[in-house]
Each structure stands twice: as C-alpha cells, then as structure tokens.
Amino acid sequence: MADVHSKEIRSYNMSRIKGKNTKPEMLVRQFLHAHGYRYRLHVKDMPGKPDIVLPKYKTVIFIQGCFWHGHDQCRYYVVPKTKTDWWLEKINGNKSKDKQNIEKLKQMGWTVIEVWECDLKSKKLGNTLHTLAERLYDQVSVF
C-alpha cells in the first residue's frame, strides 16, 4: 500500500517529531518536581543520555516512545507498511542501544527506570505515576 502523503510531506511530518521535552516527558517532570524531586535533564556524558537524572538518588529515568523503542505488545508500536525492512532495522537498533546503555548504567551503579509512553496515557497515568513514586521512595530509603 502506498503512503497517503507525498515524500516531501512525510519528510516534513517526521522532521517535526521532537526528541526532547515531549508531552510524556513533561508529565513525568512535572510530577517529580511537584513531589520535591530535583533532577538534571539529558546528561550528555552518561550512556544513552537519560531523559531525567536524579543524582541524589543515583537513579535515571528513560521516557520511552512506544514506536521508536519498539514496545512489544503495545498498540502504539505498529511497523510501517512502507520501507518495513528499514524501519525494523532502525527500531531494533534502538532497542539494542537501549539494552547496552541500561547495562552500562547499571554497571556504574545507577538504578534505571523506564517509563513507556503508553503508560502515560490518561487511563493509566495515575497508576504509572504512583508506581514511579513508590520506586523512587524505595531509592530514598536506601540513602
């Protein structure tokens, strides 16, 4: 099946997709700030350049987009019907890099939390943020 957009329009649409300050990321950041957590953003010298770094608790949070990071069994992860091989290579490469970066961070002694985009949709948002708060509270009690 052919794409419903021309090559130029598709290219423009894809160029508008942000990598930082996305809505899911902002939801988590607002929640953390409101609960007294202070953090750094997109620390370049850390593996994977985590979205949120909580140095005091030696914890990093990755806000993963379901499509871009290949969230298995998720309705938001659908392999495009055009350039399928290219997209699968791209997404599988992202998944591979994610695993490597998470492993490096764990070896460095960091706790890694992944939050998926689909878990920040309105129906699951409250539960996801509650679970995040519990995990962070567990880290606080360690220190």
Structure confidence at residue 96 as a pLDDT band (50, 70, 90): very high
Name the residue ranges covered by the structural domains of the chain. Answer: 20-142
pLDDT band at 1 (very low <50, low <70, confident <90, very high): low
For residue range 119-128, list pLDDT tens digits in order: 999 999 999 9
Classify residue 4 by burial, with Cβ atoms within 10 Å: 0-12, 13-18, 19+: exposed
Instruction: Report residue 11's pLDDT band, with 50, 70 and 90 as the boundaries.
Output: confident
* Segment 79-88, tens digit of pLDDT: 888 889 999 9
DSSP 35: T
Q: Is the pLDDT of residue 140 over 80?
A: no
Per-residue pLDDT at 73 exceeds 80: yes
Q: 20-142 architecture in CATH?
A: 3-Layer(aba) Sandwich (3.40)
Beta bridge partners of 71: none
Reported for 71-80, long-range contacts at CB under 8 A and 24+ positions apart, including other chains, are 71/116, 71/117, 71/118, 74/116, 74/118, 75/118, 76/117, 76/118
